[in-house]
Amino acid sequence: MLQGVLARLDDSGNHVPRFTPPRCLLERQAVGGCDACHATCPHDAINVGMVGASIQIDADLCTGCGLCVQVCPTGALEYNLLPALQSVKDQQSQPGAPAQDASLTCSQSGAGGPSLPCLGRVTPALLSAAGAWNTPLTLIHGACDTCAVGAPDVPARLERVLEETQRLRAPTGRPAPVTVRAVTPEDAGRALKVSRRGAFGAMFRAAGQQVAQSLPESPLPFVDWSVPEDRTPQEWQWRARTLKPAPPEGVGLYWPAPLIDDTCIDCPVCTNVCPTDAITRDLQPDGGVRLLLNLTACTGCMACLHSCPPQAIHAQDQWLPAAFQAPILLRESDSVM
């Protein structure tokens, strides 16, 4: 029984990703919009509509491959990261025990061990966690060229995700020890390896998972937009959490985010289009305005840059660790447009 519980990582009972409208660039009416999910879906399961119903997913066509989640620049589409993260953590070698690698396999590959419907669900946060835990992780895919769940280019997509992960992790001095490869005949007998602590934890989680599977719920509860912390997608929360070991204070972290120059006209466009409210606009009692950036909440979508009327916004890729500790003052002026 434990083997089956551990191997089934999609504990939601629903293969359709959660859609959070306030995070969608179409709903935010950002200049240029976004159709990444529609363009990426290999099964024509995603349609783009008008504001108020901008993204519509056909549950009958959706296979749960996760490729739309992988390319969404704002976390508007997402799956629960915790089951996969917990699986990698549970497979981590314990001190004094023989070294072992963790694995995640495609459900169609025929390989043993923990599986996902498709490795298209793998994101930089998951791979960065493997780096933070110093756990070698092997991603095993099947015959993607003929797979009915994902797409032929899933292995190439995984390599790009890994490249992004390594760029994120470079300042920590500990790259993510991740291998992407095709299934081999020996993988059919691949055992599900977990630590003793992980096994007990999985047993206690099992009851909750069984209850969840009986309910036709979304993979995650709806976001409570009144709670600022919940506006940041799990993906970016975990990217920040997994920047371990802590980078030296003088080393820049790769985290694309905006800067504002003096041509700013103090209009509210950047705050209006920001999909996670990472940019806030504070009106001052004296009539001035302050623009603040919460760097950890910024997904780097650059909707603000593309929508800025005077083109006063520019992207900066490198930030010192101290910039993540408190809001950054982007601009302060004495008057408001």
3-state secondary structure 111-141: CCCCEECCHHHCCHHHHHHHHHCCCCEEEEE
Report d(CA 279, CA 272) in Å as an integer.
9
Q: Give the CA diameter of the chain.
A: 71
Residue 52 pLDDT > 70: yes
Question: Which are the contacts of 38, defined by CB distance < 8 A and separation ≥ 6?
Answer: 46, 47, 48, 55
pLDDT digits (tens, 9 = 90+) for 294-315: 999 999 999 999 999 999 999 9
pLDDT digits (tens, 9 = 90+) for 109-164: 999 889 999 999 999 999 999 999 999 999 999 999 999 999 999 999 999 999 99
Mean pLDDT across the chain = 87
pLDDT of residue 100: 66
- Give the residue among 92, 168, 176, 104 at the shortest CA–CA distance from 141: 104
Total-model pTM: 0.87
Over its C-alpha atoms, the chain yields an Rg (Å, rounded) of 21
Residue 210 pLDDT > 80: no
The Cβ of residue 148 has, within 10 Å, a number of other Cβ atoms equal to 9
pLDDT of residue 50: 86
pLDDT digits (tens, 9 = 90+) for 168-177: 999 999 999 9
pLDDT of residue 107: 92
**Amino acid of residue 158:** L
